[in-house]
């Protein structure tokens, strides 16, 4: 077929999209959308270290050049300022599709743009995957479970999502992105992978991105009270970024489509999290209660049995081990003369 010919000429894998082993050895050509963001930039570091050629596609809505600047000048690295809502022509073997704001503050800022990014952006990247026979990985979210009525959440749970709420642009957007991914898989034989990521923290998070770990850490460092929303008894499970990146790469390289929960099952109330931040940064840190946001999920904790069994993956870094690693990065950026860069 035309596509097989095209792939052959470009030196790609077979029509099935499978990457021949020989190519793997020489290093793959990989696109990371959202690669200038928090998770994306850590993933890029691992792929570059492995010897792959990496193209970062990012519109810098929440991402920063500073996160990937250390690769500038490396011929295996390219950075493209591009919005995934617009079509894009590239020749690659794998696509890690991360582009989408992740913090509620950011994704609620322009909800229609968030939906376009999740729906049109994902459609474009799937169209690209189909055209060149690349393997496609979607970073979905634990938010697809909404305010879950099952605890902990298993991949087979369909969720409890408000379709008309202020979080819908993100959680319904990601649900549609999952649907598109499966429809391209079933209908166009695109090789796909779906990760459902639970709350992740670590160095390079935006200092003021509004997520709870970055808020508490920045507040404690600045000697401001930590803002606990609601009664602080809602729970989340916090995963260190290196564990997530390992999981994403295993998923991409493995044989299973998913979806897979990728998260750390260690569950904390926001009050407990504040306590850990206090122990880590400042024993005199105070907390301050604020009204909670609309539709805030009451509890969240991944069941990771499936990822353990099929990917041989489980998180290694407990909150009390990972938090100090993030704190030293935040300390430098909050107090160092190195200013938060503008992309």
User: Is residue 234 part of the contact set for ligand UDP (CB under 6 A)?
Assistant: yes
Burial 213-245 (b: 16+ CB within 10 A, else e): bbbbbbbbbeeebbbbeeebebbbbbbbbbbbb
Applying CB under 6 A, among 12, 30, 55, 59 the residue interacting with ligand NAD is 59
Closest distance of CB 315 from ligand NAD, Å: 13
Give the one entry of ligand UDP, ligand NAD, none that residue 39 binds, where binding means its C-beta sits below a cut-off of 5 to 8 angstroms depending on kind.
Answer: ligand NAD
Contacts of 28 (CB under 8 A, 6+ apart): 19, 52, 53, 92, 93, 94
Closest distance of CB 25 from ligand UDP, Å: 26
Applying CB under 6 A, among 208, 288, 294, 296 the residue interacting with ligand UDP is 296
Query: Which residue is associated with the tokens 């649900």?
Result: 175
Applying CB under 6 A, among 110, 162, 269, 292 the residue interacting with ligand UDP is 292
Closest CA to 144 of 113, 168, 115, 110: 168
User: Is residue 326 part of the contact set for ligand UDP (CB under 6 A)?
Assistant: no
Angle of helix 122-132 versus helix 2-9 axis, rounded to 10: 80
Query: CA 94, 256, 25, 73: dihedral to nearest 10 degrees?
Result: 40
User: Is residue 199 part of the contact set for ligand NAD (CB under 6 A)?
Assistant: yes
In the residue annotation, 170 being an active-site residue is answered as: yes
User: Is residue 122 part of the contact set for ligand UDP (CB under 6 A)?
Assistant: no
State the number of binding residues for ligand NAD (CB under 6 A).
28
- Chain mean position to CA 12: 27
Closest distance of CB 21 from ligand UDP, Å: 25
Distance, CA of 81 to CA of 174 (rounded, Å):
23
Applying CB under 6 A, among 65, 113, 116, 130 the residue interacting with ligand UDP is 130
Q: Which of residues 23-52 bind ligand NAD (CB under 6 A)?
A: 33-34, 36-40
Query: Which residue is associated with the tokens 């379709």?
Result: 163
Q: Which of 96, 170, 201, 240 is catalytic?
A: 170
Closest CA to 44 of 182, 166, 198, 204: 204
Asked if residue 275 lies in contact with residue 285, where contact means CB atoms within 8 angstroms, the answer is no
Nearer to ligand NAD by C-beta: 85 or 271? 85
Pull the structure tokens for residue 61: 């809505």
User: Is residue 124 part of the contact set for ligand UDP (CB under 6 A)?
Assistant: yes
Asked if residue 142 lies in contact with residue 196, where contact means CB atoms within 8 angstroms, the answer is yes
User: Is residue 269 part of the contact set for ligand UDP (CB under 6 A)?
Assistant: no
Window of 12-20, 77-85, 265-273, 296-304 that interacts with ligand NAD by CB under 6 A? 77-85
Mark residues 83-102: x for contact with ligand UDP by CB under 6 A, - for none: ----xxx-------------
Helix (H) or strand (E) run with residue 55 in it: strand 53-58
Q: What are phi and psi of 57, to 5 degrees?
A: -115, 120
What residue spans of the chain are helical by DSSP H?
Answer: 2-9, 21-26, 38-50, 104-109, 111-116, 122-132, 168-188, 212-221, 241-253, 270-281, 305-311, 319-335
Give the one entry of ligand NAD, ligand UDP, none that residue 296 binds, where binding means its C-beta sits below a cut-off of 5 to 8 angstroms depending on kind.
Answer: ligand UDP
Give the one entry of ligand UDP, ligand NAD, none that residue 59 binds, where binding means its C-beta sits below a cut-off of 5 to 8 angstroms depending on kind.
Answer: ligand NAD
Applying CB under 6 A, among 94, 153, 181, 200 the residue interacting with ligand NAD is 200
Binding-site ranges for ligand UDP (CB under 6 A):
87-89, 104, 123-124, 127-128, 130-131, 199, 211-212, 215, 227-229, 234, 236, 270, 292-293, 296
Which residues does the annotation mark as catalytic?
170
Binding-site ranges for ligand NAD (CB under 6 A):
33-34, 36-40, 58-63, 83-85, 98-102, 117, 121, 139, 141, 197, 199-200
């Amino acid at each position: 077929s035309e596509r097989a010919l095209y792939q052959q000429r470009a030196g790609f894998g077979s029509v099935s999209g499978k990457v021949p082993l020989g190519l793997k050895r020489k290093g793959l050509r990989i696109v990371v959308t959202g690669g200038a963001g928090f998770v994306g930039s850590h993933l890029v570091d691992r792929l570059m270290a492995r010897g792959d050629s990496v193209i970062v596609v990012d519109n810098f809505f929440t991402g920063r050049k500073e996160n990937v600047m250390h690769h500038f000048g490396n011929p295996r690295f390219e950075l493209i300022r591009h919005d995934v809502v617009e079509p894009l022509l590239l020749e690659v073997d794998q696509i890690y599709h991360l582009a989408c704001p992740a913090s509620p503050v950011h994704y609620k800022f322009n909800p229609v743009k968030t939906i376009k990014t999740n729906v049109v952006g994902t459609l474009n990247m799937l169209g690209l995957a189909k055209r060149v026979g690349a393997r496609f990985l979607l970073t979905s979210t634990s938010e697809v479970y909404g305010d879950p009525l099952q605890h902990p959440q298993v991949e087979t749970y369909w969720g409890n999502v408000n379709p008309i709420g202020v979080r819908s642009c993100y959680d319904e957007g990601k649900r549609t992105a999952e649907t598109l991914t499966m429809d391209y898989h079933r209908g166009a034989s695109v090789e796909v992978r779906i990760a459902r990521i639970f709350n992740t923290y670590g160095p390079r998070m935006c200092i003021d991105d509004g997520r709870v770990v970055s808020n508490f850490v920045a507040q404690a460092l600045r000697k401001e009270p930590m803002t606990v929303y609601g009664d602080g008894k809602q729970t989340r499970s916090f995963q260190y970024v290196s564990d997530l990146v390992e999981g994403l790469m295993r998923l991409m390289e493995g044989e299973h489509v998913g979806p897979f929960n990728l998260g750390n099952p260690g569950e904390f109330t926001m009050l407990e999290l504040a306590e850990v931040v206090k122990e880590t940064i400042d024993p005199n840190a105070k907390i301050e209660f604020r009204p909670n946001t609309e539709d805030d999920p009451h509890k969240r904790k991944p069941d990771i049995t499936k990822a353990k069994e099929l990917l041989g993956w489980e998180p290694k870094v407990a909150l009390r081990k990972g938090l100090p690693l993030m704190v030293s990065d935040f300390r430098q950026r909050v107090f160092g003369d190195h200013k938060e860069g503008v992309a």
